[in-house]
Amino acid sequence: MGRQADRWLWRWIGRRAPRWFERLLPASLLARFLLVMTLGVLASQLLGNLIWATYLKGKSEQEVRQASLHVAAGAISAIQYFHSLPLNYRQLVIEQMREMGGTRFFISANNAEVKLQSIDRNPLADVVLQAIHHDVIGRLPQLYALKVSFAWPDQLAVNNAGTFISELPDHWIKNTLLIQPRPAPILVIQAQIEPGQWLYLATLMPDPFFLENSDPLPPERWLLQFVTLLTVLLLSWVVARWITGPLAALSNAAEAFGKGESPILPETGSVEFVRTAQAFAAMRERIVRYLEDREKLFTAISHDLRTPITRLKLRTEMLDDDATRAEFHEDLDELDMMVKGALQSVRDSDIHENHTSISLDAMLGRMVRDARLAGHEVAFTRCGLRVQGKPLALKRAIGNLLDNALYYGRSAEISVFEGVGKRVIVIRDHGPGVPEEALETLFDPYVRLEHGRHSNSHGHGLGLGIARNIIQAHGGELLLSNHPEGGLQAMITLPGV
């Protein structure tokens, strides 16, 4: 029951599979393998990057929030200290702190908020600003106003007079802010501790370059993943070549064997391919023996049957009833014809020739000239194309089709076309055609339609089957169809040279 359910499921999937998806897939196994590996690696990299980016984002936000609370604690202590000082002492303390150096904050006192040019919006910077603002306001609710922002050193003003930090003496800021050689964003906290009194605090985060953590996928990581993808594709290509190489050799050997050649697969490579090559060689030998035995069998049957058929014909001569004697003669003649036709079918399908390059103009031209000398009307245009095959076998196959066209039609036309890697020969007659339901049975042995019996009473009904066997042995295909304008057409497709 489980196997039946599995088969039903796969059939359902096959019916539901979109045809456009099948058309998008490449034809070769190598290309499909590389496509699957590429998509698999890309999918795994995208999923891994998503997981990595989510993890780094959470970790960075957590670390930055903890650092922000540490900076906020120092800012709160500084604001409380300066708020406790008398107004006229505040500037003195600030100057002493500047001369001493080593403080966490660069501090200035202003009578209004200093306008700053903030850095561009950044997720980690927003976390810092929100955390510090929330902590300072929560612990110092008495402040009149609080402004927290980030600014780059070259754009940072430190007082209402518009003095930039780059204009200050170096010993005032060298232990507090980082300007050279690699500038870092500066955190500025401005707190209004009294009406008209603003305290200006500038400092760095514990990790001055924390904003770089906001990009979990820097260019270096993308480059590494691109190199990884190329490496995987290269190794996949090597593995796929190892796999598809023997398959291609097996396919070529099978195709050559189907054309009557005797290819030999080298028994080298992986264990699986060696076993396949050995199995192919054994199969080839069995088929060759079978074909030889079949030919010997048909020859023996033909020889053995002719003697009793001849004896029966002689005995019928001794019959007194003329009508009975004529019926016996007719049956024996038909039996003799069937035996000869079967033997001829075997011999015609197994002509021992070497493959060679054949000029279709030369071969078809001779056949057309012979037909015209016999009084038939045949139209043919030279094409200049060639095919690879057995000349006598192909001539016999095409000759059978041309004979049928001339027997059953008033005239025939032969056309040759060039396709992608193939040659197409179309033989059309101008006869009555064939019923559509009878097209599939025309290749069966001894099948003859009513029109055929009247037009050619000496035929055996084996010509089409012989022609198809020969063409298939050349790696081609024979299709029969009714022409839209009347008559039957035979389309032969053969591989190109």
38/470 Cα distance (integer angstroms) = 44
DSSP state of 157: B
Residue 139 confidence (pLDDT): 92
Choose among 398, 413, 379, 397: nearest CA to 486.
413
Confidence at residue 331, expressed as pLDDT on a 0 to 100 scale: 73
Q: Which residues contact 169 (CB under 8 A, 6 or more apart)?
A: none
Cβ neighbors of 247 (< 8 A, separation 6 or more) are: 29
Q: Are 266 and 296 in contact (CB under 8 A)?
A: no
Predicted local distance difference test score (pLDDT) of residue 13: 44
Count of other CB atoms within 10 angstroms of residue 156: 23
Nearest one of 193, 80, 188, 180 to 128, comparing CA atoms: 188
| pLDDT for the residue numbered 340 | 65
* Per-residue model confidence (pLDDT) at position 189: 92
Instruction: Give ∠ CA 75-80-83 in degrees, rounded to 5.
Output: 120
Give the domains, in start order, of the chain with CATH numbers.
Answer: 65-214 (3.30.450), 283-347 (1.10.287.130), 353-495 (3.30.565.10)
For 183, counting Cβ atoms within 10 Å of its Cβ (0-12 exposed, 13-18 middle, 19+ buried), the class is middle
Gyration radius (Cα) of the chain, Å: 47
Give the per-residue pLDDT at 445. Answer: 64
CB of 466 closer than 8 Å to CB of 423: no
What is the rounded distance in angstroms from the CA atom of residue 421 to the CA atom of residue 494? 9
Model pLDDT, residue 446: 59
Q: Are 200 and 75 in contact (CB under 8 A)?
A: no
Closest CA to 263 of 288, 292, 242, 245: 288
Long-range own/partner contacts, residues 354-359 (CB < 8 A, 24 or more apart): 354/390, 355/259, 355/260, 355/261, 355/388, 355/389, 355/390, 356/388, 356/389, 356/390, 356/391, 357/386, 357/387, 357/388, 357/497, 358/386, 358/387, 358/388, 358/389, 358/391, 358/394, 359/386
Q: In whole angstroms, give the CA distance from residue 470 to residue 51.
A: 62
3-class secondary structure, 186: strand
- The confidence score (pLDDT) of residue 460 equals 54
Tens-digit pLDDT string for the chain (497 aa): 445 544 544 454 444 445 555 666 777 777 777 888 888 888 888 888 888 878 878 888 888 889 899 989 999 998 999 888 888 888 888 888 877 765 788 888 888 988 888 888 888 888 889 999 999 999 999 899 999 999 888 878 888 877 887 777 766 766 667 566 677 888 999 999 989 899 999 888 888 777 776 666 677 778 888 888 888 888 888 888 887 777 778 878 877 776 667 778 777 777 877 888 888 888 888 887 877 777 777 667 666 677 777 777 777 777 777 777 777 777 777 677 666 666 665 555 555 567 788 888 888 889 889 888 888 888 988 888 888 888 888 888 888 888 888 888 778 899 888 887 788 999 988 888 888 777 777 777 656 555 555 455 555 566 787 788 888 888 888 888 888 888 888 899 888 76
Q: Which 3 state secondary structure label does DSSP give 478?
A: strand
